[in-house]
Structure 1
Amino acid sequence: MATTLRITEIFHSLQGEANTVGIPTVFIRLTGCPLRCVYCDTAYAFTGGEKMTVADIVAQVRRHQCQYITVTGGEPLAQPGCHELMTALVDEGFKVSLETSGALNVSLVDPRVVKVMDLKTPSSGEMDKNLYQNIAHLTSQDQVKFVIGDQADYEWAKAILNEYQLDQRCHILFSPVMGLQNPTELAEKILQDHLNVRFQIQLHKLLWNDAQGK
């Protein structure tokens, strides 16, 4: 029987974050998430969606004629078929990244897929869900994202960065929570503390005011 996944949306846009920001990308948003972060901006993906086979998803992605693919959610790894989908996409020659909360095991992710793992900061309300064992499965192509909502988040992120020497393992992203953390202040803190991280603002929110499907 063909593997199916529940899909909230598939759309073509510019990558709004991570180290491929600004690059045209096809986003595959899987339905469902076991976390409930305070600042979540994709709660519409918690339920609903449409069941699709891996073959149908790949066929729809092909029609966009785009090299970069991001598998996101929700939490995409909450659906076991996500692994088969990502492998099918890289087998087709696409450049694939996975956006994951870091709360679920990433050790089985196809090594050709770039993992963008979000370590949950204190203000998210889900910090206790972080699976720190995942760090051992990150490589130099992967990325860890810290979403910063306040000073406590910033200090915590710095401590985790130092404890695990994350900047020696993979790329590090610091992203302000829109409406909570002043982005200029966060940028100045990064410079003052000489952090080896990439500052990012979610490009899609600036361009399309966080419109769904963009």
Structure 2
Amino acid sequence: MLKVNEIFYSIQGESSLAGRPCTFIRLAGCNLRCKYCDTDYAYGNGILMSKDQVLRTVAKYDCPLVLITGGEPLMQEESFPLMDALLEHEYQVMLETNGSLAVQNVPEGVLLVMDIKCPGSGEMDKNLYTNIDYLGPADNCKFVITDRRDYEWASDVLFDYGINELCEVLMSPCHGMIEPRELAEWILKDHMPVRLQLQLHKMVWGPDVEGR
């Protein structure tokens, strides 16, 4: 069984596929407590659903793109057979993960959107850097930036591990903590090999709307 916080249909907001219609499966529970978390309602709240119940709910939205998110979905062992089943049903599957749990068993064909936590998150020490070895050209590695210190730290990690040579790198300004323009200017000045990633869903529906 899976503990599911919500399943909803919206616009993909923060990846290289941002802007596309997407069905979201938000699993409950998270092993981190990032200072800026905007989905803390998913820490514990959820209902138990079987894999087949989830698949039937997803099918109602008639959307080829599905994102599994949280919370931290890899906390639930049943997330792996769920990913397998979605792939078998020929969905394009994405997985958002906070980067603290091993990703090597994520099924081939799933697009990873993996965070590396910066100092401003308060959870930098939980990063599992061996996960970088499993990133491929279709995947995304995301740094949420709260200030200049985060930006400089993320830049060092990016180049130390050669992440931009493995996958697409996203730098996302933390909503309410840094202006997107400021981060954009740093990226341009330093010719950073990254994508400036704004949270599109917050721009469309506002920062406090759940289920979007």
1:9 Cα deviation after fit: 0.1
Q: In structure 2, the residue corresponding to 1:19 is in which secondary structure?
A: coil
Query: In the alignment, which residue of structure 1 is the partner of 2:27?
Result: 30
Q: Deviations over 1:94-144 (max 9, x none)?
A: 000000000000000001100100000000000000000001111111110
Deviation at 1:200, TM superposition (A): 1.1
Q: Which residue of 2 aligns with 1:193?
A: 190
For residue 17 of structure 2, what is the amino acid of its counterpart?
Answer: T
Question: What percent identity do the matched residue pairs reach?
Answer: 48
Deviations 1:124-169 (A, max 9, x none): 0000000000011111111100000000000000000110011000
- Match for 1:85 among 71, 82, 85? 82
CA–CA distance in structure 1, aligned partners of residues 111 and 24 of structure 2: 14
Aligned residues: 211
1:166 is aligned to 2:163: yes
1:213 aligned partner: 211
Distance in 1 separating the partners of 2:76 and 2:168: 26
- Give the letter for the 1:118 counterpart: D
Corresponding residue SS for 2:16: helix
Amino acid at match of 2:45: G
Gaps of 5+ in 2: none
Aligned match of 2:57: 60
CA distance, structure 1, for counterparts of residue 141 and residue 108 of structure 2: 16
For 1:121 and 1:151, locate their aligned partners in 2 and report how far apart those are by CA, in whole Å: 11
The alignment partner of 1:7 has SS state of: strand
RMSD of the alignment, in Å? Answer: 0.5
The equivalences for 1:88-107 within 5 A come to 88-107=85-104
- AA matched with 1:164: Y
Residue among 52, 62, 69 paired with 1:72: 69
Alpha-carbon distance between aligned partners in 2 of 1:119 and 1:5, rounded to the nearest angstrom: 25
**Would you identify which runs of 4 or more consecutive aligned residues in structure 1 move more than 4 Å?**
none
**Helix, strand or coil for the counterpart of 2:107?**
coil
The answer to whether 1:49 aligns with 2:63 is: no
1:182 to partner: Cα distance? 1.0
Letter in 2 for 1:172: V
Query: What is the letter of the counterpart of residue 131 of structure 1?
Result: L
1:196 partner letter: P
1:212 maps to a residue whose letter is E
The amino acid of 2:5's aligned partner reads: T
Q: Distance in 2 between matches of 1:134 and 1:108?
A: 11
Q: Which one-letter code corresponds to 2:35 in the other structure? A: V
DSSP-derived class of the 1:87 partner: helix
User: Structure 1 length normalisation: TM-score?
Assistant: 0.98
What code does the residue aligned with 1:25 have?
C
* Residue identity opposite 1:78 in structure 2: M
